A = this chain, B = another copy of it.
Amino acid sequence: MNSRKQHVIKMSHQLFIDRGYHATSIQDILDYSGISKGTFYNYFASKNELLISIFKGLHSKMKKERNELLIGKDESDLDVFIKQFELQMNINRKYKLFTLFEEVLISPDPELKQFVKEAQIGVIKWTFERFVEIFGEDKKPYLLDCAIMFIGILNQNMKYYALEHDRYTTGVHQVVLYSVLRVEKMVKELATSGEQLNEPELLDKWVPKKLKVNGTFQEELNQSINDLKKISLENHDATKYIELLDFIQDELLHAKNPRAFLIENTLVPLKNSSLFDSKQVEHLEYLVSIFFNEHNN
């Protein structure tokens, strides 16, 4: 991504942290990051879209670091899970994500509203899937409920713990640990009592549809890739991009288990190339994220 654009994102995020989202005007952002209004609206369609950019950036950073904590470790290890949530809480705290989220929770803007909603469901989904890994498949019927309640418990505990122990970072560990222990007992208890509120299958309904089987999605994907191929063909020295695009197309549509990380890696040179319209590449990236159902977790 354009480094200038990145700079604007950084500066405006700082302003949002300092003054809040609503209290920061476009003009503030222009002055603070030293760009003009025209450029701003060249980068972002709206103030809301800028905010979404900030969220997305931090989210992918968080996702990356969170996954790094798992490599080489046992996925059923509760300590790793605790560390993962600690990480997320610390990033939330550092970048005031919670505050910003709250500020736009119910926003007049439907796009932003949808984004926030999807992000929240994504957290539930990830937690649920980790719970299945940790507590085992046999507990699955109760684990969606537990994931939902865990998020509730953790957020509330964080909120009120912060009221007292504002400065100590060690507190985060304590709160996460305490919350995880509570939910651990709850899983056991529910497994014996057998009570259930939500079927785990509901998650699939909540999460934006996997469009994999959907014909129109496949068309859109092909269209997007073909557009980029066309541009590559029109340019000498761009055959390597055609190879990459062919690979992506094949992996997504014909592989039994398409490998997300491979495709994400393959997208990198495309994104960095000045050959393509960045919007087109971003659109392809978006389609890929839908394919892997990854834009929420």
Q: What residues of B have a CB within 8 angstroms of the CB of A160 in the complex?
A: 124, 148, 198, 206
Give which listed residue, B124, B154, B164, B186, contacts A185 with CB less than 8 A.
Answer: B186
The total of chain A residues at the interface (CB under 8 A) is 39
Q: What residues of B have a CB within 8 angstroms of the CB of A145 in the complex?
A: 157
Contact present for A156 and B164 (CB under 8 Å): no
Q: What residues of B have a CB within 8 angstroms of the CB of A37 in the complex?
A: none
CB distance from A256 to the nearest CB of B (A): 32
Give which listed residue, B22, B175, B206, contacts A108 with CB less than 8 A.
Answer: B22
- Report if A152 contacts B (CB, 8 A): yes
Give this chain's copy count: 2
- Report if A39 contacts B (CB, 8 A): no
- Report if A197 contacts B (CB, 8 A): yes
- Restricting to A150-186, which residues have a CB under 8 Å from any CB of B? 151-157, 160-161, 163-164, 174-175, 178, 181-182, 185-186
- Report if A18 contacts B (CB, 8 A): no
Q: What residues of B have a CB within 8 angstroms of the CB of A186 in the complex?
A: 182, 185-186
- Report if A189 contacts B (CB, 8 A): yes
Q: What residues of B have a CB within 8 angstroms of the CB of A102 in the complex?
A: 102, 105-106
A178-B149 Cα distance, complex, nearest whole Å: 11
- Report if A195 contacts B (CB, 8 A): yes
Starting from the known contacts A103-B106, A148-B157, A178-B197, 4 additional A-B residue pairs (CB-CB under 8 Å) come to: A22-B107, A152-B152, A152-B157, A185-B185
11 A–B contacts from the bound complex (CB under 8 Å): A20-B106, A99-B106, A102-B102, A105-B105, A149-B182, A151-B156, A152-B155, A153-B153, A160-B206, A164-B202, A185-B189
